[in-house]
Amino acid sequence: MRRALLIICILLSLPVIASDRSTTTALQRLDGILQNQEKFLAVRQQRIDSLRELYCAKPGPALLMQISEEYKGFNNDSAMAYLRLGAKTASGRESDGFRWRLAALMPLGGLFDQAIKTFQSIDTTKIEPQNLASYYDSGRQMYSYIGAFLKDYPATSREYNDKALEMQRRLLDVLTPHSLEHRFNLGEYFYLTGSNEKAKLLLEEVVESEPASSNMSARASNHLYNIYKESGDQSTAIYYLTLSAISDILSATREVASLQTLGNVVYASGDIGRAYSYLSAALEKAVTCGAPLRMVETAKGLPIIEHAHSSRLAANRRALNWVVAGVWVLLIIVLLTLFTLKREMSKMARLQESLRFANNAKEVYISQFLSLCSIYMDKLNQFCKLVTRKLAAGQSDELYRMAKSGKFVEEQTGEFYEVFDDAFLHIYPDFVEQVNGLLRPECRITLQSGEMLNTDLRILAFMRLGIEESPRIAQVLNYSLNTIYAYRNRLKSRALNRETFEADVMSINSQA
């Protein structure tokens, strides 16, 4: 009898132990998967490209539907574009199918009224029985999105959540009883109506049965997170939230709520590094997915975490001995310079790859940039020798003043401009004239004596080379981001056609 009781006690303690270990393991697995997320995104993109090729060869509503489904959660703007195309080109009942799926995605772009109007305009009496499940599920999704985004207005949010619940109740009526989809929706319905124990049994069964990369597994895991959180089992709650985030990444889903929530949860636990990583990834995914409201929600937590991260680093730096701190600051400057050079060399290597099959002028351009790197490395070597001599001579104050003056950076920036201007004009010798052709006569650019390009032209040159992002241009030209924005806006205001100016610059041809 004692032996039996001992076995029972051991068995009862196992879930808790497993849960703790699984949470740590799951977080480590998520970290590893995040590092390789580009592979999963590439696989999904390849599927989309294959479907698009098939559609180009033989257009049809079925392929349009498949493409939109592949884009959903991956690039919602594209998904809605294909759904709109389907609604426009398909006829009758097929068009309705595209429209109710379109309505389900519109709230992610803030189009609440348009989504409701589109969904309610569909004549439900004409929907074929086999399509009712899709219709009700789209309605559930649409109203759930709206309810979630209006959570700061409890009464309105509750109204839309009730409508979503009604859609799910109708969905359960048309799903095949005891099917996995029916069990999932029933579990979700139980959770939303407060029957957490019933919901937990069904949802755990779904997580165990479904592949880790399925959307159903991600949603079920997310609900289980909330259930265990409400019961006070924080460890198991985080475990299931991590599983949900893993499912989103494995399925290459960019519209991620779990990763965002997990970032806030680990931040509350003091894990600043993970929180910053998860929230940054969630924000990046929201941007590329075309989900502005998700992006706003994720961005709310980033300043807090960034501030906490900066404060912690500042506190650690203040704790250092002043003498040792002075030496380390100099070493950090050198290491940061090396890191910057390595990053620039990596960018230039990618530039070489893209220009490999270009004309001889472009090869000259690459070679001059490599020469610039060599100059930087040589000057860095000289700077290191200077640092060594000054430290050995006890002239740390003088060395500090030299580093603080910024003269070294200023000299290298000037040399970079000279090399870049010369190389770029080898490829686009008529660039200045062609740019002036896009500007109003009284606003055309006049170069000073000895100038090959000025700041305006360099910004446009980088855009012509494919570097269109203002942060990247600001980084290379050593300007602030606001300065770059100001230059770009001023150039647009001087253009003959403000709306197409940047596109016109991108169409400027090289001498090839």
Q: Which range scores top for mean pLDDT: 74-83, 346-355, 357-366, 410-419?
A: 74-83
CB atoms within 10 A of CB 347: 14
Place of tokens 């289980």: 224
**Which has the minimum average pLDDT: 120-129, 165-174, 205-214, 351-360?**
351-360
Given this structure, which CATH class describes domain 428-512?
A: mainly alpha
Between 378 and 44, whose confidence is greater? 44
The pair phi, psi for residue 231, each rounded to 5°, is -85, -5
Using pLDDT thresholds of 50, 70 and 90, give the confidence band for residue 214: confident
> If you average pLDDT over residues 76-84, what whole number do you get?
87
pLDDT > 50? residue 91: yes
pLDDT > 90? residue 169: yes
pLDDT > 70? residue 208: yes
Percent of the chain whose predicted confidence (pLDDT) is above 70: 80
Distance in angstroms (rounded) separating the CA atoms of residues 46 and 36:
16
Are 325 and 317 in contact, with CB atoms under 8 Å apart? yes
How high is the mean pLDDT of the chain?
81
**Which has the minimum average pLDDT: 53-67, 104-118, 383-397?**
383-397
pLDDT at site 18: 36
Between 82 and 4, whose confidence is greater? 82
Are 192 and 166 in contact, with CB atoms under 8 Å apart? no
> If you average pLDDT over residues 449-457, what whole number do you get?
87
pLDDT at site 299: 60
Distance in angstroms (rounded) separating the CA atoms of residues 459 and 470:
9
**Residue 406 in 3-state DSSP?**
coil
Are 97 and 134 in contact, with CB atoms under 8 Å apart? yes
Query: What would the pLDDT profile of 314-347 be if each residue is shown by its tens digit?
Result: 667 777 767 677 777 778 888 888 888 888 887 7
**Residue 393 in 3-state DSSP?**
coil
The pair phi, psi for residue 495, each rounded to 5°, is -80, 155
Provide the 8-state DSSP code for 255.
S
pLDDT > 60? residue 294: no
**Which has the minimum average pLDDT: 140-144, 362-366, 492-496?**
362-366
Question: What are the residue ranges spanned by the domains of the chain?
Answer: 59-174, 321-405+415-427, 428-512
For the entire predicted model, the pTM comes to: 0.55
**Residue 153 in 3-state DSSP?**
coil
Given this structure, which CATH class describes domain 59-174?
A: mainly alpha
**CA neighbor of 69 nearest in space, from 174, 171, 180, 215:** 215
| Encoded amino acid at 276, one letter | Y
**CA neighbor of 306 nearest in space, from 339, 340, 332, 273:** 273
CB atoms within 10 A of CB 307: 10
Residue-by-residue DSSP string for 367-382: HHHHHHHHHHHHHHHH
**What are 439's strand-pairing partners?**
495
pLDDT > 60? residue 3: no
Query: What would the pLDDT profile of 386-436 be if each residue is shown by its tens digit?
Result: 778 878 887 777 767 766 655 666 666 777 778 788 878 877 888 889 999
Provide the 8-state DSSP code for 499.
T
**Residue 210 in 3-state DSSP?**
coil
Distance in angstroms (rounded) separating the CA atoms of residues 185 and 171:
8
pLDDT at site 300: 62
pLDDT at site 470: 87
